[in-house]
A and B are shown apart, each in its own frame.
Chain A
């Protein structure tokens, strides 16, 4: 008997007491929990997102579509970034004001070591969750491979408000495709393993900057 059959057989014997059909009836789950906590309009939802992101030590900026290129250029300059990794589908216009910065294209050929020598990364996102202060990346063309937002120490992410902002975790899951690899980011990398003192940037980026852009 294969191990698989052995485990499945044990499960079936273990459940001999439990009356069950061939397929489970999911009706047994009460989904009477809330889809959204509280009532907010779009502006308030964006405010809550900003507040919760900041609470987890992300640095939040706001800009209009017009201001965005200048703002991104300013953020990279303030950081002294010399080399910036850029996903293939990032809108050209976003980095149009950036000068004196080497752009490293995200590609499969880029090794982890090469990526480690990059200062910053600029990406878009798939969705942002106001109630938890979370940005979700789904490796779409404006976000790139998962590792480019992991290895460099500085991540700038652009969130389009209001269309990319949802209130809650249930609303976010509805919008996301599980077939794509997803990365949920709530503030920069952090640890509390040493006497529960929070320290940012153990392995992932130490600095997460979020630009909420409205048109």
Chain B
């Protein structure tokens, strides 16, 4: 695979390019609007949605506050049930552990369940370097893998591809990976799915090693949970002899009972279903049913650094439902690739810079990849205040401050003009060029207004101190607005300034 996020342009550049790709925008728009509307109906079926959402938030906050305690409990329970627990501080270590585990089986092929964590750490690439072929078995991940592409959505990674593109990818690439696409393959979804079934069944039936993530891990019982639709997850979890699950440390839940909250929140937020077609739970190993060996690799990779940030740590509540992507006006136009990480959309904009740090141009630009309209917060089943974290991270980019990197407290210097500032300006310009997004929320009106005019003099001064060539003179927000938008648009500025609190509904 040549697809990689490294060296990608910063968000505004990547987004700027994506906005001009009309196929991509068409595919994305259709998909996000469809899921968005379905989700709203599925959620409306439950009268107690807000109570479930509050409980989901509280359970996750309790987990984060006592994460060490719950992880130790989990380790005990998994071990007692016949599993082996491994700990990895970063991506390299996690990849090394998995590679060694696969090597120990003597196998050179593994089948994989769709997993954000393995995407995040670049496991497939690491395995390939070690001469191990990792086959993605989720249909969308297969499309991405065969197309030598990158996922662009948490739930539907190939959301940016339409049916004829998929047919071409199958015709062109399936033969190189195993069973070729059938002759005369049409672009009907049923035929495409059948081609994938035949292609992958070959792999499932001979697979000796399966690799998965997990949606939840239960500390009390040592149970892991995978939620899916196609059955490829079940195949990977039950047919191989060895199962390796790679899971972020924040995925732990205290008790079996807590699943009653998350198995109600996740499917409705994610696929807009009452329940997803398949959920598998397993506790260690079971005699003669499923894998004989089970390994759990607990991955930190920036999560403890994120935990150290009192505002930013709420991003670790995320259950990867993707609801925030589907309502985000910026995601809809920019597409998932522009975010330059496994986590696109609003959650990616706050999670990625925290997991990876904000040293690169793209990571420093991500907190600006939003119009702050607040729609993401409204739909989030664990009530992550994404706009709050975005503003907090912008402050870090511009003003610097204390952060934790690889477990150590370090003081971040204010960004040296260029990257962050350009990012800020371009992101702002994008927003201002899209009045619908601009009008979309009270949060935009209140938070950015509070942020820009009142704080600009502070960071503005810092910029002048540290910047080599001042390319943008320090000026008031109002002046900047007039200059960049022209005199004819003054009215728009006034109306957004006085944006009412009700207008948050305007994103629909």
Instruction: List chain A positions with a Cβ less than 8 A from chain B.
Output: 2-4, 6-15, 17-18, 20, 22-24, 26, 28-34, 37, 52, 56, 108, 112-113, 116, 129, 131-134, 139, 145-147, 150, 169-170, 173, 178-197, 199, 201-205
Contact = CB atoms under 8 A, between A and B. Distances in A.
Contacts of A108: 288
B404 interface: yes
B256 A173 contact: yes
Given A31-B55, A184-B279, 16 more contacts: A10-B305, A33-B51, A34-B51, A37-B46, A52-B274, A131-B274, A169-B263, A169-B264, A178-B281, A184-B280, A191-B229, A193-B143, A194-B166, A194-B192, A199-B193, A203-B235
B197 A202 contact: yes
Given A56-B273, A173-B260, A196-B35, A189 B230 contact: yes
A121 to B, nearest CB: 13
Interface in B166-190: 166, 189-190
18 contacts: A3-B87, A10-B300, A20-B65, A29-B58, A33-B51, A33-B264, A132-B267, A169-B263, A181-B281, A182-B282, A184-B278, A184-B281, A186-B274, A189-B231, A190-B277, A194-B193, A204-B231, A204-B277
A14 B65 contact: no
A130 B141 CA distance: 32
Contact of A147 (B62, B197, B201, B239): B239
Contacts of A116: 201, 205
Contact of A15 (B65, B223, B257): B65
Given A11-B68, A11-B307, A199 B231 contact: no
A186 B289 contact: no
Tell me whether chain B's interface is mostly helix, strand or loop, or mixed. Answer: helix
A193 B139 contact: yes
A112 B204 contact: yes
Contacts of B87: 2-4, 6-7
Contacts of A201: 193, 197
A173 B259 contact: yes
Contacts of B267: 132
B48 A33 contact: yes
Given A184-B278, A193-B156, A30 B69 contact: no
Contacts of B237: 146
Contact of B189 (A24, A32, A179, A199): A199
A12 B232 CA distance: 38
Contacts of A23: 66, 69
A15 B63 CA distance: 12
Interface residues of B, number: 101
Top-6 shortest CB links A-B:
A204-B231, A10-B304, A14-B308, A203-B231, A184-B279, A132-B275
Interface of B: 27, 30-31, 34-35, 45-48, 51-52, 54-55, 58-59, 61-62, 65-72, 75, 81, 86-89, 93, 137-140, 143, 156, 158, 162-163, 166, 189-190, 192-193, 196-197, 200-201, 204-205, 218, 221, 223, 229-232, 234-235, 237-239, 249, 254-257, 259-261, 263-264, 267, 271, 273-283, 286, 288-290, 298, 300, 304-305, 307-308, 310, 313, 404, 407
Contacts of A195: 27, 30-31, 162-163, 189
In this complex, the member of B218, B231, B305 whose beta carbon has the largest number of chain A beta carbons within 10 angstroms is B231
B271 A192 contact: yes
Contacts of B235: 150, 203
Contacts of A17: 310
Nearest to B230: A202
Nearest to A58: B277
Given A7-B249, A179-B283, A202 B231 contact: yes
Given A191-B193, A203-B230, A20 B300 contact: no
A204 B290 CA distance: 16
Contacts of B65: 15, 18, 20, 24
A55 B156 CA distance: 22
A132 B277 CA distance: 10
In this complex, the member of B27, B62, B75 whose beta carbon has the largest number of chain A beta carbons within 10 angstroms is B62
Nearest to B142: A193
A14 B67 CA distance: 10
Given A32-B51, A193-B143, A195-B163, A187 B238 contact: no
Given A37-B47, A194-B193, A186 B275 contact: yes
